[in-house]
Chain A
Amino acid sequence: MAVFKAYMRIAKKNMWMILMYLCIFLGVTVMFQRFAGGDTVQYAAQSVPVGIIDEDRGEAAESLIRYIGRTNEIVYLEDDRETLQENLFYRNVEYIVRIPRDFMEKCILGDKKLKVTTVPGTYSGSYVEQQISNFINFARCYAAAGFTEHELGEAMAARETAKVEMLDVNGNGGSYPAYAFYYRYLPYLFLCVLCYVMGYILMGFRRGSLPDRMAASAVPARRQSMEGLMAAGVIAIALWGFCSLISIVFYNGNFLDSGKVTWYLLNSFVMLLSALALSYLIGSLVKTPNALNGIVNILSLGMCFACGVFVEMDLLSSGVRKAAQFLPVYWYETANEILMDYGEISGDIRNRLVGAIGIQLVFAAAFLCVTLAVAKRSRKSRL
């Protein structure tokens, strides 16, 4: 197992680089998770600081203030011109409502309009105005029905606001679970780590007259290849195992109870195979560390940006999406999005998921075939 051990020794020498990429990956995952909102998506009405000058101090006025205060921030102001101007100028309030004495009689039973002051050109004015208008309309209805000022206040307080309920399609209340983001960025880690590690190992084995030295040794060429492949497999599986373990430890119950653990693991494993085959191909072609560095950066970042890892697929243009279909990461992300979007994997969804995973396998096989052809050609050219 000389070749196997040599692969492992060279891989061990690149351990710091592997750890660096793991840190970058985890950092990027945490960052994007935070920006993307993490576990829950909440909708709340806009809150506007509203200044109130209450000259009435009656139950109807109180009811109005309570109604506006449900969604807005209430600031009680003194009826002083300078104070009001100052508060508007510094945006302490964006809208001032003056509730006149005898509010019930004048504004609800009568036709008098409320006197308001607002910052010109702001949409918040019309937003609060609409709320006040709603209140007056409801209050007038109640008053017409014979409600007293006290009863009107109680009725308005009892009115419920509209309740929005998200349709739970993906089994996670409509929002994306944190582990989905983790798995979304995984191709970047796989591509970087495997391409660098395999690149350095294979470059080492192709340096100078080492291929001839190896060909002249007592270990058959087939065995050398097998040991090399085995070592590459062990490195890749160790990386995948470690990443899967992290996802289980970090996201624990959420992930394990999702019922999609197997799918996530299978999808990431097939992506790993594609990345491994691609890394073998790159390692067979590059000759210098600088070339490796350039190719790995272009490939990993390019694929990740074009295939919906760093930028959501919905935001990509149709042209980019069409081109990305010729890359395995696109199909990984397609499968990942299916897992993110649906709580139950069955029927047509299951077929789509299996199809996306299958295409990744085809990519892995294609990369492997090209690698074998390159290896055969280089062996022939030596003879």
Chain B
Amino acid sequence: MIRIENLVKRYGDILALDHFNLEVKEGEIFGLLGPNGSGKTTAINCMLALLKYDRGSIQIMGQDMAPDNYEVKRQIGIVMQDVAVFEELSVHDNIDYFCSLYVKDKNRRKELVEEAIRFVGLEDYRKIYPKKLSGGLLRRLNIACGIAHKPRLIILDEPTVAVDPQSRNKILEGICELNRQGSTIIYTSHYMEEVEQICTRIAIMDHGRSIAVGTKEELKSMIKTGETVTIEAVILGADDLADIRNLPHVFDVKYEDQRLVVRCTGAKHNLIHILGCLQEKDIPFGRVFSELPTLNDVFLEITGKQLRD
């Protein structure tokens, strides 16, 4: 569906995309994950031919993407990061307007607009103007405007920024539904939970480069961390920490603010071994947490920094 090769985009001295590569297959929900400023939106804008790039190539649906390739543009739906609707038009008129940029047949458009309104759950707000909608409803309207014409490829650029949990769930469910209906989705976000929840494949971006690509399981398997155990312990000495570090499968131990964080490779009984060690030494402890690796761990291990830094 999309093939991007060695894409380079500079803003003066700043390298926004550094030989960025990407391949998205038809039917995927493809996640572009990265911190703010990692180049996600720049990549999207290059794909949509909104930005000129310095080097590389972009092919969408087998055709070179260019500002005047309206045949391809007709099959793309865009949901911008900033809400892009007319304040002067009602909810219905906004969706109808954006749909009419792609669909000329009036009757067909009427059906599509109604479908889009139902899809995002804005049936009760047809005649309301955007200024009177809450942030979540506004985002839903933004999505409806982007998907009303039933495109083959839908690009959603951080569609859940500043959205309440209820609307966020509705939006994520909707995206999965669009995918089930046959659309290929490109979803950019810096919320790793969202990307983990809905994306079939993920590319992690940093400094304009794609640093890791794969399914979430593949990405997690790329790193050493298989389990992170956190224990609230009151007193731990240097000897105790050394003993824990020597346990099998443990490769990193940190003790800060009376919290012991132990990172282990993927193996069974890691938690039992650590708790057993503490009991042997008669060390009292409070709450215990065991977490499987997240995409943040993946990002952390690859780049040495947190995803939300």
Residues of chain A whose beta carbon lies under 8 Å from any beta carbon of chain B: 2, 5-6, 9-10, 13, 200, 204, 207-210, 212-221, 382-383
Contacts and interface: CB of A to CB of B under 8 A. Distances in A.
B296 interface: no
B167 interface: no
B50 A217 contact: no
Contacts of A13: 88
7 contacts: A10-B86, A204-B86, A209-B83, A210-B84, A212-B45, A218-B70, A382-B50
B52 interface: yes
Contacts of B49: 216
A218 B148 CA distance: 14
Interface residues of B, number: 29
Interface string B91-111: 001000110111000000000
Contacts of B86: 6, 10, 204, 207, 210
B211 interface: no
B88 A216 contact: no
B82 interface: yes
Contact of A204 (B67, B83, B87): B87
Contacts of A213: 78, 80, 84, 98
B45 A219 contact: no
Interface of B: 45, 48-52, 67-68, 70, 73-74, 76, 78, 80-89, 93, 97-98, 100-102
A208 B50 CA distance: 15
Contacts of A382: 50
B50 A6 contact: no
A334 to B, nearest CB: 38
Majority SS of interface residues in chain B? loop
Given A209-B81, A212-B80, A2 B97 contact: yes
Contacts of B68: 220
Contacts of B82: 208-209
B101 A218 contact: yes
A348 to B, nearest CB: 50
Contact of A220 (B70, B76, B81, B84): B70
B50 A212 contact: yes
A5 B68 CA distance: 23
A9 B88 contact: yes
Given A208-B84, A209-B84, A212-B45, A217 B101 contact: yes
Contacts of B51: 383
Given A208-B83, A217-B73, A10 B88 contact: yes
A8 to B, nearest CB: 11
B102 A217 contact: yes
A5 B80 CA distance: 23
A200 B98 CA distance: 19
Contact of B78 (A2, A216, A220): A216
B74 A218 contact: yes
A319 B80 CA distance: 53
6 nearest CB pairs, A to B:
A2-B100, A213-B84, A218-B74, A217-B101, A209-B82, A216-B48
B101 to A, nearest CB: 4
Nearest to B102: A218
A13 B50 CA distance: 30
B99 to A, nearest CB: 9
A207 B73 CA distance: 22
Contacts of B52: 383
Contact of A9 (B45, B78, B89): B89
Contacts of A209: 80-84
A10 B50 contact: no
A380 to B, nearest CB: 10
Contacts of A5: 97, 100
A131 B285 CA distance: 125
B296 to A, nearest CB: 28
A9 B87 CA distance: 12
Contacts of A220: 68, 70
B84 A10 contact: no
Contacts of A216: 48-50, 73, 76, 78
Nearest to B70: A218
Contacts of B80: 209, 212-213
Nearest to A12: B88
A212 B41 CA distance: 12
A208 B80 CA distance: 10
Contacts of A2: 97, 100-101
B53 to A, nearest CB: 10
B214 to A, nearest CB: 29
Contacts of A212: 45, 48, 50, 80, 84
Nearest to A205: B86
Nearest to A382: B50
A354 B78 CA distance: 52
Nearest to B45: A212
Nearest to B99: A2
- The residue among A5, A213, A214, A382 with the most chain B CB atoms within 10 A of its own CB is A213
- The residue among B50, B51, B52, B70 with the most chain A CB atoms within 10 A of its own CB is B50
Nearest to B101: A217
Nearest to A217: B101
A225 to B, nearest CB: 14
Contact of B89 (A6, A208, A221, A383): A6
Nearest to A10: B88
Contacts of B89: 6, 9-10
A215 B84 CA distance: 12
A6 B87 contact: no
Nearest to A380: B52
